[in-house]
Amino acid sequence: MIEKGQTLPAGTLAELTKDGMVTHDITELFSGKKVVLFAVPGAFTPTCSEAHLPGFVVFADQLKDKGVDLIACISVNDAFVMKAWGEAQNASELMMLADGDASFTKSLGLDMDTGNFGGVRSQRYAMVIDNGVVTTLNVEAPKSFEVSTAEAILAEL
Which residues participate in catalysis according to the annotation?
48
Residue 18 CB coordination number (10 Å): 5
Task: Write the Ramachandran bin of 20: left for phi over 0, alpha for psi from -120 to 50, otherwise beta.
Answer: left
State how far the Cα of 7 lies from the Cα of 108, in Å rounded to an integer.
10
CA dihedral of 81, 85, 87, 91, whole degrees rounded to 10 = -130
Helix (H, G, I), strand (E, B) or coil at 34: strand
